[in-house]
A and B are shown apart, each in its own frame.
Chain A
Amino acid sequence: MRPLPAGEDGGAGEGGVSKTNMLWTVIALIVLMFTVALAAWFIFLWAVKTRQFDDIERPKHRMLDDDS
């Protein structure tokens, strides 16, 4: 993390970033995070439903089989 200069309360930007801008950035990032997380969650739900977790031993060997 960027060390804070003394006297600055972690907010108002010196380099042109305003407090509101930073807030909106964080909120946007949170929304983005939720979207990605929800996508991952739905993939997980789909995987459980299609029995992908039933055998976690065999599939890793399957790619080594040659298709003779």
Chain B
Amino acid sequence: MSTVRTTLLTCDHCLLPVTDREAVYADGPSGKKVFCCHACLAIYEMIREEGLQAFYEKRDWRSFGIPESVRFPAGQEAGPPLIECETGRASVARDEDIQQADLMIDGIRCASCVWLNEKILERTAGVVSGRVNFATHRAVVRWDGTKTNLVRILSRLRAIGYAATPYTQSGHEAMLQKQNKDLLLRLGTALFFSMQLMLLSFGLYAGYFQGIDPQMKHWLQVASCVVCTPVLFYSGRPFLKGAVQGLRNRLVNVDVLISLGAVTAYLFSVYNMVMGGEVYFDTAAMIITLVLLGRYLENSAKRSASDAVTRLLALQPQEARVVWAQGRLMTAVELVKKEDVLEVRPGEKIPLDGVVLKGRSEVDESLVTGESRAVEKTTGMIVIGGTINGLGMLLVRVTKTGQDTTLAQIARIVERAQNASAPIQRIADRVSSYFVPAILLSAAGTFLYWFNNPATPGLSAALLNAVSVLVIACPCALGLATPVAVLAGTGSAARKGILVKGGDILERLHKVRTIVMDKTGTLTTGKMQVTEIRNAEFGLRNDQHETQNAKHETVQLAASAEQSSEHLLGRAIVQHAKEQGIPLLQADETRALPGHGIKALVQEKTILVGKRALLEREGVRFPADSIETAFQLEREGRTVVFVAREGAFLGMIALMDSAKDDAKNAVARLKRTGINVVMITGDNEVTAQAISKDTGIERVLSGFSPTEKAIEVERLRDSGKNLVAMVGDGINDAPALAAADVGMAMSTGSDIAIDSADVVLMKPGLSSVPEAVELSKKTFLIIRQNLFWAFFYNVAAIPLAMTGTLHPIVAAGAMAVSSVTVVANSLRLRK
């Protein structure tokens, strides 16, 4: 290769760094423009034609590049073709001629992207309206069906560099959204009426300090009652319902505590209002409002996490390329029938189970089987849907669709596992189950004391004092204690690249005593890498200094021969050479010998790279110790490639899917916090042992099928009576992820793994695992402190109620102070 000096430029559209030789140039009105590819140039021209260049001044991009599906090399077809079938998946709502659809738009990075998308939609003939939601990256488009169609609209967005796909809301999502809307209505109502109630209450408080006309007081109380009633019976309905349900199941949960406090306060106040005493309407309404606020905060944290997950999954459209007599057609996977022939291009995911009709390639089945080595596929061999095609093109005849595919079978196991794992009792429920009987007892004690007190004979004083104990005991800040801490905790996790799908998960995670980790793709990088090079001249020793040059030569020759190879091992060797800065030499007459290796002419000499069998067939003689060394390396879990020059054995290169850089550190950190780390894999014993040595994990379980993994996780849960977390990325891990108390999936993993996990780790490294555990411990500590402070002020006021000297102002004071304490304490997590 020539070594002409190159300078790095930046693409004017996508900000991608590009060398001056590869760049595409164009003349714009404001001088020469540079682009990384023709796609970016086309996008720039499109935006300029529409007169929307202002976008480039306004935008605030912190990352570069455009979505994969939009990029295409010069001269090739413009991205994946859009055809009618693709829109068959979208639910298009029709109202006479006007049609409406939801879109998911990939590539939105700033508010200006939203602006650009909306402007383009606006200027598309036939589009009635297009609104893009910045928070969710979703758009609602309405268009005139007689003038344009969805395909045309989608390709307009694609033309300006955004990948838009029709998007159908799942039932679960629609339910969540409805729940959220309902919660918002109840919370909003509670807030409005509580505000009115507070104004009225301030009049009453002032009356306490300065004296008040009894008639005026009465009217203020009546008004308070009017505004309190909807808060308790409309906004508080879910709690009342929950309490009734809980009591029916003989469970004392948070709802019981809240309802007990709010309802007694309300009834007590109504009685006092009529009889001319003090009222506690503000306490009743505040309890409900604060608990609702807490639930709303928690719900929105959950929603933003699940939005992020949905976005992650929507980026991988479930499509297949069907081969017809007329050509190829992109179709939704659901529409593919048995016996259809699919074309799978290099690097694509194989959509469905089938048999190879034509072509040869290496398929990465690690996501399904856990086996880290790619599997060679030729005509007549079975391929599994969800696996990733290597570098060859395959024609696949579909044998299984819908519920029969391997993927669907695993999905069913996941579902079963999810239904089987019972949710653990949340801490607030646990505390309530002790607290409610305690306050009932103290109320009973108060009643008995006053009932037998000769100074105040009769039922009324005893009953009033007993009820006032119940009124003051219910902590208003209880509803905020957990959600605010969870909100702060998940927010801080999200900033670290850890997506937590719900608050209870943080509560569960801190109790985890065993973490089960998948090997391929989780502990390891999931890619083959050169780990060792041995050279024959130096007796195959693994000595650093002496053999440096010889090693260099071995790699140089092997990489030169392999430079045009599409074999995964070959590419790994080329990659290694590039990383080491070893220049590649010109190779001629390259001949790939499928399944065996490669033969090429480098520097006029025949170079053979491949399996031992290939070299032996070509008459290469191996020194006696070389076989022994190769066996040794293979026992350590490596794949060995042999290199020969002019029929003479030169050396060998050992490759393996090695552990991630931070794996050892992460495992050590977890062990320090007293967590058992177990490795589980579908791969063989030998490779598993090698990785266990590199990462410091002592317990290794190898050769496990997806179902066995889930059963093993289940077994670990029962035997130790401890919570178990599972970290994985593959389809084969999904059942185990669902079975574990906390499932953690790598964001690079398969859709089904991400879907069945509770936590998604957005960073490729493993350091997020200990980080998540530490964060959950911190969050849980804060929750405990919050619960203490929520109860503290109210419990401290109980003696006042017992002695019959409780006043609404004390209840209001306790309410305010405990809420402020709880919120301030939670904010410490945001650091």
On A, residues with C-beta under 8 Å from B are 1, 4, 9-11, 19, 22-23, 26-27, 30, 33-34, 37, 40-41, 44-45, 48, 53-58, 61, 65-66, 68
Smallest CB-CB separation from A19: which chain B residue? B213
- Chain A residues positioned under 8 Å from B216 (CB to CB): 22-23, 26
Once bound together, how far apart are the Cα atoms of A26 and B216, in whole Å?
A: 8
- Chain B residues positioned under 8 Å from A9 (CB to CB): 211, 213
- Chain B residues positioned under 8 Å from A48 (CB to CB): 181, 184-185, 188
- Give A12 Cβ to nearest chain B Cβ, in Å: 9
Residue picked from B54, B114, B193, most chain A C-beta under 10 Å: B114
Once bound together, how far apart are the Cα atoms of A44 and B235, in whole Å?
A: 15
For A57, give its contact among B134, B192, B220 (CB under 8 Å).
Answer: B134
Q: Are A61 and B115 also in contact (CB < 8 A) when A4-B210, A23-B213, A23-B215 are? A: yes
For B184, give its contact among A41, A53, A55 (CB under 8 Å).
Answer: A53
Once bound together, how far apart are the Cα atoms of A68 and B133, in whole Å?
A: 21
Q: Are A37 and B196 also in contact (CB < 8 A) when A1-B206, A10-B212, A48-B188 are? A: yes
Tell me if A61 and B213 are in contact (CB < 8 A). Answer: no
Once bound together, how far apart are the Cα atoms of A22 and B213, in whole Å?
A: 10
Q: Does B52 contact A (CB under 8 A)?
A: yes
Smallest CB-CB separation from B188: which chain A residue? A44
Once bound together, how far apart are the Cα atoms of A33 and B192, in whole Å?
A: 12
Tell me if B189 and A41 are in contact (CB < 8 A). Answer: yes
Q: Which of B239-291 contact A (CB under 8 A)?
A: none
Q: Which of B665-694 contact A (CB under 8 A)?
A: none
Smallest CB-CB separation from B195: which chain A residue? A37
11 contacts between A and B (CB under 8 A): A10-B211, A22-B216, A33-B199, A34-B223, A37-B193, A41-B188, A44-B192, A48-B181, A55-B133, A55-B134, A58-B135
Smallest CB-CB separation from B223: which chain A residue? A30
Once bound together, how far apart are the Cα atoms of A10 and B207, in whole Å?
A: 9
Residue picked from A33, A58, A66, most chain B C-beta under 10 Å: A58
Once bound together, how far apart are the Cα atoms of A10 and B215, in whole Å?
A: 12
Q: Are A61 and B114 also in contact (CB < 8 A) when A23-B215, A33-B196, A55-B136 are? A: yes
B-side interface residues, number (CB < 8 Å): 36
Tell me if B133 and A54 are in contact (CB < 8 A). Answer: yes
Known pairs A33-B196, A44-B188, A55-B136 / 7 extra A-B pairs, C-beta < 8 Å: A9-B213, A41-B188, A41-B189, A45-B185, A48-B184, A58-B111, A58-B134
Once bound together, how far apart are the Cα atoms of A53 and B210, in whole Å?
A: 43
- Give A36 Cβ to nearest chain B Cβ, in Å: 9
Once bound together, how far apart are the Cα atoms of A1 and B212, in whole Å?
A: 13
In the A-B complex, the 3 residue pairs with the smallest Cβ-Cβ separation, listed nearest first, are: A58-B134, A61-B111, A55-B133
Contact with A along B55-87 (1 / 0, CB 8 A): 000000000000000000000000000000000
- Chain B residues positioned under 8 Å from A55 (CB to CB): 133-136
Tell me if B133 and A58 are in contact (CB < 8 A). Answer: yes
Tell me if A27 and B219 are in contact (CB < 8 A). Answer: yes
Q: Are A37 and B115 also in contact (CB < 8 A) when A1-B206, A9-B211, A57-B135 are? A: no
For B52, give its contact among A37, A58, A68 (CB under 8 Å).
Answer: A68
- Chain A residues positioned under 8 Å from B181 (CB to CB): 48
Q: Does B581 contact A (CB under 8 A)?
A: no
Once bound together, how far apart are the Cα atoms of A58 and B188, in whole Å?
A: 22
- Chain A residues positioned under 8 Å from B697 (CB to CB): none
- Chain A residues positioned under 8 Å from B213 (CB to CB): 9-11, 19, 22-23
Tell me if B210 and A10 are in contact (CB < 8 A). Answer: yes
Tell me if B52 and A4 are in contact (CB < 8 A). Answer: no
Q: Are A61 and B215 also in contact (CB < 8 A) when A44-B192, A48-B188, A66-B54 are? A: no
Once bound together, how far apart are the Cα atoms of A57 and B114, in whole Å?
A: 11
Tell me if B52 and A1 are in contact (CB < 8 A). Answer: no
Q: Which of B301-334 contact A (CB under 8 A)?
A: none
Smallest CB-CB separation from A31: which chain B residue? B223
- Chain B residues positioned under 8 Å from A26 (CB to CB): 216, 219-220
- Chain A residues positioned under 8 Å from B219 (CB to CB): 23, 26-27, 30
Contact with A along B193-228 (1 / 0, CB 8 A): 101100110000011001111011001100100110
Once bound together, how far apart are the Cα atoms of A46 and B207, in whole Å?
A: 37
Q: Does B555 contact A (CB under 8 A)?
A: no
- Chain B residues positioned under 8 Å from A57 (CB to CB): 111, 133-135
- Chain B residues positioned under 8 Å from A44 (CB to CB): 188-189, 192
- Give A23 Cβ to nearest chain B Cβ, in Å: 6
- Give B179 Cβ to nearest chain A Cβ, in Å: 13
Contact with A along B164-205 (1 / 0, CB 8 A): 000000000000000001001100110011011001100000
- Chain A residues positioned under 8 Å from B132 (CB to CB): 58
Smallest CB-CB separation from A56: which chain B residue? B135
